[in-house]
Amino acid sequence: MTESKYLLEMKAISKSFPGVKALDDVSFRVKPGSVHALMGENGAGKSTLMKILFGIYKEDAGSIFIEGKETTFPNPKAALEQGVSMVHQELNQVLQRDVMDNILLGRYPQKGIFIDQKAMYDFTKNIFDDLGIDINPKSKLANLSVSARQMVEIGKAVSYEAKILVLDEPTSSLTQQEVNHLFRIINLLRDRGCGIVYISHKMEEILEISDEVTVMRDGKWIATEEAKDLTTDKIIRLMVGRDLTNRFPPKTNKPGDVIMQVKNLTGKYQPSVQEVSFELRKGEILGVAGLVGARRTELLETIFGIATHSQGEILLHGKAVDNKDSATSIKNGFALLTEERRATGIFGGLDIKFNSIIANIDGYSKYGVLDDKKAREDTKWVIESMNVKTPSQKTQIKALSGGNQQKVIIGRWLLTDPEVLLLDEPTRGVDVGAKYEIYQLIIDLANKGKGIIFVSSEMPELLGTCDRILVMSNGRVAGIEDTKNLDQEKIMTLAAKYL
């Protein structure tokens, strides 16, 4: 028997869920010492294929070979023990424990009958030093930024001495500087012979870091090509099955009179926003840019009332509003789409109907009884108007792709008929086709007179969709400019203003 030249081979994999054929005869191969990108629209089957590899799902048909030997993993623990590690897009971590606890969960070093804390610290520190990660192993995970937590998860995956490392949207919360650091780690692991599966929707990253690219569509394998032979346009064509001539829809909204004023807003518990002032116009899309730690999320949370402010005021149509909590904010005409969809956006184990109506639940109460007919009608509206791909309203939302989950949440907030929409990374982990749909939705909402604040780490999408961009630096407003007067370099210069 000749030795396989592939580290990983998945042959003719099929998988069905109720009402959905997620994978249809898909084959996928990864060479040692290579980065193999896996691309496709949300719902293409990428994550399902990798969850089968990692032992989360069991394939209905097909075979998996590691270094030429047929293998099956009954659970993720078995996969980890065989050198297959995965960093999930939605982080599964124990936030109330420290970093080294999370790294060594389930495999603590012992000193007699006690856990050896020094060995835990040394093990974690050595992993981080090797990868150039500057995080204290004793830090409580809840106190770290999303990007730092992502680096912890990458360190944990590497700590298993993985031969195959799957990275699912690893840069969705990272700044460009952090992306560059991640790429250095990937190149280090590639040089050691590791096979890396890299799932991302960011075309420029794929072309920069990958050796090979496999494209999937509707649960089927479409193509595998060398990255050097591909262009962004060709990848998009393979992904969506058609030419997508523009990354952004035409901007048809026309900002009008001032709808909201924020004056001297300062968070009560620092670090937070400090003395932030700006105006938002009716029908305007106001982008918010900044590096990690700029307090962009804190700005939206303070406006929405889930973070307390010590000074400043918010005026809607010239009248002061007291958004003391989320329920009051919703009544005042505000809506917040949060950055971490899984942790704070969806009720994963509940169906699409519940997730669609929950923010407007009072509107379905009739004599103290839920008006199920109206709830079903409104959910039907969410599914149809947001173009949500789902078998039915009764499908658990966690079974949908990330892009479809996001569209349900946007639809949920539209049912509350808000005047101001606060969108925190609305296209995070969303494919190029679904991104275009979300951009169009945002522009359509602006056309209906909504005021929209749009936080994003992706400068091209801010420049492509927003009327003005507010740049934050260390909790302060570093500048507000018309988009036509800005480029990425100027945004970065402003973002570093108060560092």
Give the pLDDT band (50/70/90) at residue 2. very low
Q: pLDDT at position 271, please? A: 81
Q: pLDDT at position 38, please? A: 94
Give the pLDDT band (50/70/90) at residue 233. confident
Q: pLDDT at position 173, please? A: 66
Q: What is the mean pLDDT of residues 257-262?
A: 97
DSSP codes joined into one string, 348-412? TTSBHHHHHHGGGGGGGEETTEE-HHHHHHHHHHHHHHTT---S-TTSBGGGS-HHHHHHHHHHH
Closest CA to 422 of 464, 457, 389, 450: 450
Give the pLDDT band (50/70/90) at residue 374. confident
Give the pLDDT band (50/70/90) at residue 363. confident
What spatial distance separates the first Cα and last Cα of the chain, rounded to whole Å? 60
Mean pLDDT computed over every residue of the chain: 88
Give the pLDDT band (50/70/90) at residue 42. low
- Check residues 491 and 241 and name the one with the higher pLDDT: 491
- Residue 1 pLDDT more than 60? no
- Residue 340 pLDDT more than 80? no
Q: What is the mean pLDDT of residues 18-42?
A: 88
Give the pLDDT band (50/70/90) at residue 343. low
- Check residues 271 and 102 and name the one with the higher pLDDT: 102
The model's pLDDT over 390-411, given as tens digits with 9 standing for 90+, comes to: 888 989 888 887 778 888 888 8
Q: pLDDT at position 178, please? A: 81
Q: pLDDT at position 170, please? A: 82
Alpha carbon distance 392, 379 (integer Å): 10
Q: 464: alpha, beta or left, given left = phi > 0 and alpha = psi -120 to 50?
A: alpha
Q: pLDDT at position 245, please? A: 61
The model's pLDDT over 126-159, given as tens digits with 9 standing for 90+, comes to: 999 998 889 999 999 888 877 788 889 888 888 8
Q: What is the mean pLDDT of residues 62-78?
A: 91
Q: What is the mean pLDDT of residues 340-351?
A: 77
In the chain, the domains with their CATH numbers are: 8-240 (3.40.50.300), 258-495 (3.40.50.300)
Residue type, 258: V
Question: Residue 258 burial (CB < 10 Å; 0-12/13-18/19+)?
Answer: middle
Question: Residue 282 burial (CB < 10 Å; 0-12/13-18/19+)?
Answer: buried
The model's pLDDT over 430-476, given as tens digits with 9 standing for 90+, comes to: 767 778 888 998 999 999 999 999 999 888 889 999 999 999 998 99
Residue type, 481: E
DSSP codes joined into one string, 90-151? S----TTSBHHHHHSTT---EETTEE-HHHHHHHHHHHHHHHT----TTSBGGGS-HHHHHH
Q: What is the mean pLDDT of residues 178-193?
A: 90
- Give the CA dihedral 352, 356, 362, 363, nearest 10 degrees: -110
- Check residues 132 and 201 and name the one with the higher pLDDT: 132
Q: How far is CA 86 from CA 25, 192, 275, in A?
A: 23, 18, 42
Most confident of 40-54, 140-154, 334-348, 442-456: 442-456
Q: pLDDT at position 244, please? A: 57
